[in-house]
Amino acid sequence: MQVHPSALITGITGQDGAHLAEFLLGRGYVVHGVRLYSATDDTQRLRDILDHPCFHLHIGDLNDGGALARLIRDCAPNEIYNLAAQSHVHASFKVPEATAQINALGPLRLLEAVRVLGREHDIKFYQASSSEMFGNAPAPQNENTPFAPCSPYAAAKLYAYWLVRNYRDAYGMFACNGILFNHESALRGQEFVTQKIARGVAALASDRDAPVLALGNLNSRRDWGDARDYVRGMWMMLQRDTPDDYVLGTGQSHSVRDFVNAAFDAAGFSLTWAGIGVGETARCSRTGRLLVRIDPSLFRPTEVNNLIADATKARTILGWTPETDFQTLVRDMIVAAMDDVSHARRDDHWANGNNARFA
């Protein structure tokens, strides 16, 4: 009888959780996903795997250590991927305590549950760390770059990073930190700037009355990659014989302005930029239509200016390299966003027509 490896994924309803679950199911895993209780359906990203015989959903909460321990006991996973988080940097300034509870103490509860259950030598543990921990440390950043967090989000992630290393050293746990630089996909949450841009561009391309795209700091630079490449890297970390920490990123830096230009280009627009600072705008080069403006409320209290990954260690030891380039990533997100807009308009048309029939 074939024995399938099993994995427990927290944050299963998010971008990375959905991509990782699909990846692991494709490799013969039994996948247990942990989601917060919700009165509304939050499983849209999982719709293609919900009926898979080896996929199981559970209710859980990183604020409840007892529930986490019971889940680990009952699911008996070989691997745990902790992807759950308050994942929005800007929001962490508004809810710093909640961010710390989830992003810092949540991983502690998971690690303690593994230890108390006596599974510290049986379970491999992956912690989703973040390039935001580097803050404004000089680029490029690698595993030896000093951390300088610039937000409550980054500070909480750094606490969890050191916990993982502590539990690895103190208890011999196979625990890894994946220090992932920005990674995107069509499943990215709408609150993130890349998805905000993609959906905003799609709306502007399909509707002349769509609102102008409002953005914050256009000069902030990030190392953007494809989330599907990064979940493969998570898995590769846990397949090694010894645990370690790895930076994953493309090694290329692009500004928010670069992302905006690439997104509009993918939708068939050419932009003309004018003005400086909060007065900067972008218009369609052909028609003069206003497409982009600056909203000062979207600036962070402290800004991280330039993140670029040096993923030499991951390439050398794991054999990991990203497969999707920046232009392809942006184009894929625009295509998906435009498809969503098209479906929504068809649904609205059907609904309005249907209502008219029975008015």
Residue among 60, 13, 69 nearest 36 (CA): 60
Contact 285, 272 (CB under 8 A): yes
Q: Give me the pLDDT at residue 357, please.
A: 36
Show Cβ contacts of residue 219 under 8 Å, excluding neighbours closer than 6 positions.
Answer: 255, 256, 257, 305
pLDDT at 355 over 50: no
Q: Give me the pLDDT at residue 262, please.
A: 97
Q: Give me the pLDDT at residue 303, please.
A: 75
The burial class, CB within 10 Å (0-12 / 13-18 / 19+), for 284 is middle
Q: What is the mean pLDDT of residues 30-43?
A: 92
Selected residue with higher pLDDT from 31 and 345: 31
pLDDT tier at 358, thresholds 50, 70, 90? very low
Q: Give me the pLDDT at residue 300, please.
A: 80
CA distance 186 to 332: 7
pLDDT digits (tens, 9 = 90+) for 318-327: 999 999 999 9
Residue among 340, 135, 124 nearest 235 (CA): 124
Q: What is the mean pLDDT of residues 169-186?
A: 97
pLDDT tier at 353, thresholds 50, 70, 90? low
| pTM for this model (two decimals) | 0.92
Kindly compute the dihedral angle of the four CA atoms of residues 101, 102, 105, 111, in this order, to the nearest 10 degrees. 160
pLDDT tier at 250, thresholds 50, 70, 90? very high
At position 346, the amino acid (one-letter code) is: R
Contact 283, 274 (CB under 8 A): yes
Q: Give me the pLDDT at residue 301, please.
A: 83
pLDDT tier at 279, thresholds 50, 70, 90? very high
Show Cβ contacts of residue 213 under 8 Å, excluding neighbours closer than 6 positions.
Answer: 196, 197, 200, 201, 204, 260, 291, 292, 293
Q: Give me the pLDDT at residue 356, please.
A: 40
How much is the CA Rg of the chain, to the nearest whole Å?
Answer: 21
Residue written as token pair 């916990």: 163
pLDDT at 246 over 70: yes
Q: Give me the pLDDT at residue 346, please.
A: 60
pLDDT at 1 over 80: no
pLDDT digits (tens, 9 = 90+) for 202-229: 999 999 999 999 999 999 999 999 999 9
pLDDT digits (tens, 9 = 90+) for 66-83: 999 999 999 999 999 999
CA distances from 266 to 204, 263, 291 (A): 13, 5, 15
Q: Give me the pLDDT at residue 305, please.
A: 79
CA distance 322 to 303: 27
Contact 164, 175 (CB under 8 A): yes
Domain boundaries in the chain? 6-185+224-248, 193-220+254-305+324-352
Q: What is the mean pLDDT of residues 170-199?
A: 96
CA distances from 187 to 18, 19, 88, 122 (A): 8, 9, 15, 32
Task: Please report, rounded to a whole number, the percentage of residues in the chain having pLDDT higher than 70.
Answer: 95
| Token code pair at residue 263 | 């997104």
Q: Give me the pLDDT at residue 359, please.
A: 30
pLDDT tier at 345, thresholds 50, 70, 90? low
CA triple 158-165-33, angle to 5 deg: 75
Q: What is the rounded average pLDDT for all residues in the chain? A: 93
CA distance 148 to 154: 9
Q: What is 193-220+254-305+324-352's CATH number?
A: 3.90.25.10
Residue written as token pair 């490449």: 229
pLDDT tier at 350, thresholds 50, 70, 90? low
How many CA atoms, within 13 angstroms, populate the side-chain half-sphere of residue 58?
21
Contact 230, 183 (CB under 8 A): yes
pLDDT at 122 over 80: yes
| Token code pair at residue 62 | 């990183």
CA triple 276-132-66, angle to 5 deg: 140
Q: What is 6-185+224-248's CATH number?
A: 3.40.50.720
Q: What is the mean pLDDT of residues 256-284?
A: 96
| Token code pair at residue 183 | 């990674």
Show Cβ contacts of residue 204 under 8 Å, excluding neighbours closer than 6 positions.
Answer: 210, 212, 213, 267, 269, 291
